[in-house]
Amino acid sequence: MTMRRWFFGPGSLLTRVGMWFLGPMRFTGLEHVPRDGAFILVANHISLFDPLIVGSTAGQLAGRLVHFMAKQEVRRWPVIGWLATQAGVYFVRRGEGDRAAQRLSLELLASGEAIAVFPEGTRSRNGVLGEPRNGAALLAMRSGVPVLPVSITGSNRIIPRGARLPRRSRVTVRVGEPFLLTRQASGRIDRQELAAGTERIMRAIAALLPPAQRGRFG
């Protein structure tokens, strides 16, 4: 399954409307987004709108399309589930170590595409970085492609808890420098190495966030 290029592509109507709808947006570090070649974008997750924000950042402003993974339940959500399906999102069964999703991710990366992963696996309730899963680090080590850290702030105010309707909010997106996660010369990836890779990913995201949102990674 591949993302339909009209959906989040550079200059697409959805991207323009989405960026206007979300509110004033500030971007820093866009020069770090690779203009070609595969990479894994990793970001904190605080809002349902984060995939649109990430897609807008890479597509509208940096000329890249990014493929997304989402938890299986999203497919059943009204409107958002439909949008995700139309965008070519591929769905992952949380907690089951979905090998099919890993395989598809590696195929996309091998073909030079970019994918986005929210390492926490779910939205933070308080905006602070939570405990991550190892999927992003595993993909980075298996594929050998760069990891691109991104932070998002302000998107959790678009639909605050208790609100029935969305409202425009100032959103800030910061993009850090890409980096590589190395693996043993034998090609094996042990648990300790995987945990260290995940820790590095989270600290790279945390470095782009305000101190109060970094959690234990600050």
pLDDT over 90, % of the chain: 47
Give 149-163 pLDDT, tens digit per residue.
999 999 998 887 677
Position 1 pLDDT exceeds 80:
no
State the amino acid at position 105 in one-letter form: S
Residues ≥6 apart with Cβ < 8 Å to 124: 44, 45, 46, 130, 156
Residues ≥6 apart with Cβ < 8 Å to 155: 22, 46, 47, 49, 50, 53, 169, 171
Instruction: Please give the radius of gyration of the chain, using alpha carbons only, rounded to the nearest integer.
Output: 16
Give 57-114 pLDDT, tens digit per residue.
776 667 788 888 777 887 887 777 776 766 667 777 765 556 777 888 999 999 999 9
Distance separating alpha carbons of residues 85 and 42, to the nearest angstrom: 21
Domains parsed from the chain with CATH numbers = 5-159+167-210 (3.40.1130.10)
> Global pTM?
0.86
Tell me what the mean pLDDT of segment 51-62 comes to.
73
Task: Kindly give the pairing relationship between strand 171-175 and strand 147-153.
Answer: antiparallel
pLDDT over 70, % of the chain: 83
